[in-house]
Structure 1
Amino acid sequence: MGTTIEGKDIRKLVIACDAGMGSSVMLAGQLRKALKKQPVAVEHTPVDSIPSDADVVVCHSGLAERARRGAPGGAVVVPFEIFIGDPAVDRVVKAIKDGGALSV
């Protein structure tokens, strides 16, 4: 049904946004700090400009369909509801740090 990736195989994590309110920029900074010891690049991009080498795209649930259309084939799109402390985002960090599958 959905796409799956192993946490150890994630090399580029993209935070996709639309509104430009700054919340997603803060989330990207938070994820860079949380994953600084991991071999993962964390980028912040507009939802309509997701890079072709993105492995995982994290975006607000309201943008998930646009992200799925713009994400490269095979990329896992992880929607979340709140910018800080959302379990979906925590699941991404855990998969990268501890291994395990991430799927949507």
Structure 2
Amino acid sequence: MTTINGSDVGKVVIACDAGMGSSALLKAQLSKTLAPYSVKVEHTAVNKIPADADVVLCHQGLADRARKSAPDTVVLPFQMFIGDPVFAKLEAAIKAGEPIAG
């Protein structure tokens, strides 16, 4: 399991599969939420996660593929694109500078 300190997070990537509709909405939401902490949010295909990603968010069904695509990056799976508790936990860890593991 990979870990990063919340204060070291500069880039969050939302990884999706075929379409980018739901991930684009999530990107817009998280960009606003994480802007006060100077965290950049992007979305990309799960097989093309950029090497400079600090944290990857992806639907639970894509977590194994995301971990293979970015083996040294924290991968946080979620179940719901809107309102999943993982998003609030990520923000809280970034705000407090606490460890994030995934």
TM-score (norm 1): 0.92
The aligned residue for residue 36 of structure 2 is 37
Corresponding pairs, count: 102
Q: Are 1:52 and 1:72, in contact at CA under 8 Å, matched by a contact in 2?
A: no
The aligned residue for residue 88 of structure 1 is 86
CA distance in 2, matches of 1:100, 1:44: 24
1:35-74 alignment, distance < 5 Å:
35-73=34-72
Where does structure 1 lack aligned partners over 5 or more consecutive residues?
none
**Which has the higher mean CA deviation after the structures are superposed, 88-97 or 48-57?**
88-97
The aligned residue for residue 98 of structure 1 is 96
Q: Aligned with 2:56: secondary structure? A: strand
**Structure 1 residues 50 and 21 mapped into 2: Cα distance closer, same or farther (>3 Å)?**
closer
The aligned residue for residue 16 of structure 1 is 15
Q: Are 1:47 and 1:70, in contact at CA under 8 Å, matched by a contact in 2?
A: yes
Q: Are 1:54 and 1:72, in contact at CA under 8 Å, matched by a contact in 2?
A: no
Amino acid paired to 1:35: L
CA distance in 2, matches of 1:69, 1:88: 21
Where does structure 2 lack aligned partners over 5 or more consecutive residues?
none
CA distance in 2, matches of 1:10, 1:72: 17
CA distance in 2, matches of 1:12, 1:103: 15
Q: Aligned with 1:84: secondary structure? A: coil
Report runs of 4+ in structure 1 exceeding 6 Å deviation. Answer: none
Q: Give me the CA root mean square deviation.
A: 1.1
Q: Aligned with 2:89: secondary structure? A: helix
Seq. identity, %: 57
